[in-house]
Structure 1
Amino acid sequence: MNIVILGAGQVGSSLAEVLANENNDVTVVDIDRLHLQRLQDRLDIRTVFGHASHPNVLRQAGLEDADMLIAATQNDETNIVACHLAQIMFKVPTKIARVRGRSYLDHPELFSSQFDEKAINIDLLISPENLVTEYILQLIEYPGSLQVIDFHHSKLRMVAMRAYQDGLLVNKQINTLKKHLPSAIKTRIVAIYRNKDEIVMPTGETVIRAGDEVFFLAEPRHVPAIIAELRQKKEKPSRNIMIGGGGNIGFHLAKALEGDHLVKLVDHNMQQAREVAEQLDKTVVIRGDISDKDLLLEENIDEIDLFIAVTNSDEANIISGMLAKKLGVRRVIALVNNQSYVELIQLNGIDVAISADSITTSHLLHHTRRGDTVKAVTLRRGAAEAMEVVAHGSENTSDIIGKTIAQIPWPSDITVGAIIRKDNVIIAHRDLEIEAEDHVVLFLTDPNSASAIAELFATSEPSWFRWN
């Protein structure tokens, strides 16, 4: 696929790396020569220096031959204009724009994926801030979760949890799980990570150890019961929550949480703190430095169940998160985009580090895949991936339809987790047969296997239909 990315910032760079590694033809446009040079030094891509919304620059980037434009600069207007020009000048098939401004996001009628002379032709608007907010809210729904991913309109959910020493399943084989759960609850453990990065491909005989990071699939209503088997005790919901940062993410988190939780929000900017306070009903808004120990003590940090650091500074989020943990907060979530800080975080007690870039990249990934991939999510900072792929065709045109899971030559680093058939969830087993239009959920310990999956799910015309 020929893809043009506008913007070599964190989101654009992350996308360029993922897409280039999947053998796409990638061109990146930016006004920062240093950023472009750094990308070109480590990736097999083409770069163009210039303003992303200038017609001559878009032509130089090869937009007339592009299959997709991803406008991911820091400027909303630049992204919108570039997508508009991509349509009227080059008829680019797919146009995606990163938009942060609430005034744009609140008026979707201004944009259309279909030709409409009254609307700007953009196929998909993405807001990293909205995506991060939704991601954090899912983590809050399941106390102790490390990652939560929905498939097929939330019919199926993948959850990553840490197994604790006193959990009922710890030091036991996976096949004993069904003995501890009601018969109506079905689940499948699709991967286990041990000692940070050691991958264990699970079988029924695999023994779960304390500290393992366990990925399992289940229907959302069954997730709490499964979590209870992996944890030493049932974790209390986070009642008292403190949010560091009153920007878009902090504000929308407070707005979503203040109805059912006791929320405090801290921001160092007086004007922003005042504006946020005027728009929130129950949240206590405090003007101050979130990494100020005296402030945290004054606000009874030891009574806080969950601390969420989502300022614009990675350093402030890390320092305040580590400080909150030291002062007695049970759980800490921090927004950290710089991947070089991840090791530091793992060693210093922050429970979950989330990256807006990784979340945004995951949201876009399935648009760049061959075949009918309806979801593709990067896991463990890009080291693994979960996919939802639709099986099309018939036994005559497909290599997988009509065959059981055991008969299909899957790559060795793939786990088939479940099938969603006509909105019904079927947990995978070796004798389960694939039918047309099944949504197959897979776990890939190597994202490079995505191309092999695309080939497996590809369809071809039957031999009697082909010209000789």
Structure 2
Amino acid sequence: MKVIICGAGRVGYGIAERLAQEGNDVSVIDTQASLISAITETLDVSGHVGHGAHPEVLAKAGADQADMIIAVTLFDEVNMVACQVAHSLFGVPTKIARIRSQSYLAPEYSDLFSRENLPIDVTISPEVEVGKMVLRRISYPGATDVVRFSEDRVVMLAIECMEDCPVVNTQLRQLSELFPDLNATVTGIYRDGHLSVPSSQDELLTGDLAYVVCDRDHTRRTLSLFGHEEQEAARIVIAGGGNIGYFVAKAIEDHQPRTRIKIIENDRERAVLVADKLRNAVVLHGSALDQKILMQADIENADLVVALTNNDQINILGSVMAKKLGCKQNLVLINDPSYQEFTKSLGIDAHINPRAVTISGILQHVRKGRIRAVYAVQHGSAEVIEAEALETSPLVGKPLRETDLPDGVRIGAIYRDKTFIRPDGNTRVKAKDRVVLFAKAEAVRHVEQLFRVSIQFF
């Protein structure tokens, strides 16, 4: 597949890295020569210095042969025009744009990105996607990562196995025998820096991070089984009243009115604006690094501090300080991957990588076959994938134990007629089933083949 990526920043680099590893023909465009030099030196991609919306630059990048353009520059308008030019002049079939400004995405302007107006097939809003991720983390205390699939009925939880975890040193098949009515399957294990797909004979050890696919109605019980009994936060302090902070606070006000929210915002004008828009939240003007401001926010009695400023250092230091002052838990937004490696040693309970969230949203539309959702874990070492089974799929009809699944793949759930099915060796996949599975990066292309439309389908 020929793909053009406009923007060689962190997100553009991440997408280019994934697509190049999978053997795609990738061209990257950016106005900064240093970024193009860096990406072409480290990845098997072609680079072009120039403006991503200019026709001659797109032409040099091979737009006339491109299957897809992914516009992820820092500027919404450049992304939109790049897609328009790619459509009008070069007939590029699939156009994806990152759009940050919420005014473009307002429901009353939903026709803006239609084929007749601005022909963009997919818009990705990082702030909204990250905001939703923050809300999911708040809803499932004890999980270090949370993603929903299949009309929100299937949930993937990343759960750390603590010393008092009841399920350690027990074979996974025994867990199924001990808890036959628990709709949950361990699909991946991250241990000592290595990610693996377990078999039924494998065991969980203390310190493991288990990727568990479960029924939405069984999430609390699953977390409890892994030794996590944390209660949902009733008092939350949000550091940062920007787009993400406001989105999170507004959603909590609308859906969890009993939760007390306090926001710390360093910009006075923004603090006033946010205070006017929210009904019940208390907004404090000041820095999340100011101990007096934290005390004014009653941080010693808070259940959770969520650090969502656009500065990693403030997020990290502010959340560490908040815990020192008595806050029970913290959740931190971290952009720089180099900081993410030592969060645990600093006392950070959970963190969110905005780049990973955005890349996962884009990969969903890059994947071939009937792929409905994708979420990358452990810096792209594996993906949790939701795919629709077609009549021609080799998965359909036979018991799973007789199916030749690719190495590095484990099926976590089947969603059929609004019902969760925990798979075992006797389970048969039917056409139109949604299959949620865990696949290591090297197995993803085999998964795509399993769910591609065969010529027999027509």
Q: Same fold (TM over 0.5)?
A: yes
Cα deviations across residues 178-233 of structure 1 (Å, max 9, x unaligned)? 5765x6432211122234x244543444433333212212211111111111125x
Query: Aligned with 1:217: secondary structure?
Result: strand
Identify which of 219, 222, 244 aligns with 2:218.
222
Identify which of 321, 324, 330 aligns with 2:322.
324
Residue 252 of structure 1 aligns with which residue?
A: 247
Query: Aligned with 1:100: secondary structure?
Result: coil
2:190 matches 1:193:
yes
How far 1:50 moved relative to its partner?
1.0
Q: Is the CA contact 1:393–1:459 (under 8 Å) kept in the aligned structure 2?
A: no
Residue 436 of structure 1 aligns with which residue?
A: 431
Q: How many angstroms apart in 1 are the aligned matches of 2:199 and 2:290? A: 48
Residue 409 of structure 2 aligns with which residue?
A: 414
1:283-432 to structure 2, matched below 5 A, reads: 283-394=281-392, 398-432=393-427
2:443 matches 1:449:
yes
How far 1:172 moved relative to its partner?
3.6
Residue 109 of structure 1 aligns with which residue?
A: 110
Residue 80 of structure 1 aligns with which residue?
A: 80
Q: How many angstroms apart in 2 are the aligned matches of 1:400 and 1:55? A: 44
How far 1:381 moved relative to its partner?
2.4
Q: Is the CA contact 1:416–1:443 (under 8 Å) kept in the aligned structure 2?
A: yes
Residue 51 of structure 2 aligns with which residue?
A: 51
2:66 matches 1:70:
no
Instruction: Identify which range, 162-171 or 239-248, moves more after superposition.
Output: 162-171
Cα deviations across residues 8-57 of structure 1 (Å, max 9, x unaligned)? 11211111111111111111111111011111110011111111222222
Instruction: Identify which range, 327-336 or 398-407, moves more after superposition.
Output: 398-407
How far 1:142 moved relative to its partner?
0.9
Q: Runs of 5+ in structure 2 lacking a partner?
A: none
Q: How many angstroms apart in 2 are the aligned matches of 1:28 and 1:461? A: 33
2:442 aligned partner, one-letter code: N
1:95 aligned partner, one-letter code: K
Query: Aligned with 1:35: secondary structure?
Result: helix
Identify which of 244, 256, 267 aligns with 2:265.
267
1:207-218 to structure 2, matched below 5 A, reads: 207-218=203-214
Query: Aligned with 1:150: secondary structure?
Result: strand
Query: Aligned with 2:213: secondary structure?
Result: strand
Alignment RMSD: 2.0
Cα deviations across residues 237-273 of structure 1 (Å, max 9, x unaligned)? 1011111111100111111123231111111111111
Q: How many angstroms apart in 1 are the aligned matches of 2:5 and 2:429? A: 37
Q: How many angstroms apart in 2 are the aligned matches of 1:7 and 1:178? A: 47
Instruction: Identify which range, 204-213 or 329-338, moves more after superposition.
Output: 204-213
2:80 aligned partner, one-letter code: I
Query: Aligned with 1:120: secondary structure?
Result: coil
Query: Aligned with 2:342: secondary structure?
Result: helix
Q: How many angstroms apart in 1 are the aligned matches of 2:414 and 2:30? A: 42
Q: Is the CA contact 1:53–1:79 (under 8 Å) kept in the aligned structure 2?
A: yes
How far 1:363 moved relative to its partner?
0.8
Q: How many angstroms apart in 2 are the aligned matches of 1:199 and 1:435? A: 30
Q: Is the CA contact 1:160–1:215 (under 8 Å) kept in the aligned structure 2?
A: yes
Identify which of 147, 150, 153 aligns with 2:151.
153
1:168-183 to structure 2, matched below 5 A, reads: 168-177=166-175, 181=179
Q: How many angstroms apart in 2 are the aligned matches of 1:381 and 1:346? A: 17
1:227 aligned partner, one-letter code: L
Q: 1:250 to 1:109 in 2, by over 3 A?
A: same
Q: How many angstroms apart in 2 are the aligned matches of 1:198 and 1:120? A: 44
Q: Is the CA contact 2:214–2:412 (under 8 Å) kept in the aligned structure 1?
A: no
Instruction: Identify which range, 449-458 or 122-131, moves more after superposition.
Output: 449-458
Q: How many angstroms apart in 2 are the aligned matches of 1:312 and 1:335? A: 8
Count of residue correspondences: 453
Q: Is the CA contact 1:162–1:231 (under 8 Å) kept in the aligned structure 2?
A: no
Q: 1:366 to 1:286 in 2, by over 3 A?
A: same
Residue 33 of structure 2 aligns with which residue?
A: 33
Q: Is the CA contact 1:111–1:122 (under 8 Å) kept in the aligned structure 2?
A: no
Instruction: Identify which range, 323-332 or 350-359, moves more after superposition.
Output: 323-332
Residue 279 of structure 1 aligns with which residue?
A: 277
Instruction: Identify which range, 403-412 or 359-368, moves more after superposition.
Output: 403-412
Cα deviations across residues 299-337 of structure 1 (Å, max 9, x unaligned)? 332211111111111121111122222223221111111
Q: Is the CA contact 1:375–1:388 (under 8 Å) kept in the aligned structure 2?
A: yes
Q: Is the CA contact 1:5–1:12 (under 8 Å) kept in the aligned structure 2?
A: yes
Q: Runs of 5+ in structure 1 lacking a partner?
A: none
How far 1:61 moved relative to its partner?
1.9
How far 1:103 moved relative to its partner?
1.1
2:94 matches 1:100:
no
Identify which of 124, 127, 144 aligns with 1:126.
124
Q: Is the CA contact 1:133–1:252 (under 8 Å) kept in the aligned structure 2?
A: yes
Instruction: Identify which range, 185-194 or 71-80, moves more after superposition.
Output: 185-194
Q: Is the CA contact 2:196–2:408 (under 8 Å) kept in the aligned structure 1?
A: no
How far 1:424 moved relative to its partner?
2.4
Query: Aligned with 2:373: secondary structure?
Result: strand
How far 1:393 moved relative to its partner?
3.1
Instruction: Identify which range, 199-208 or 156-165, moves more after superposition.
Output: 199-208
Q: How many angstroms apart in 2 are the aligned matches of 1:408 and 1:101? A: 46
2:105 aligned partner, one-letter code: L
Q: How many angstroms apart in 1 are the aligned matches of 2:176 and 2:43? A: 46
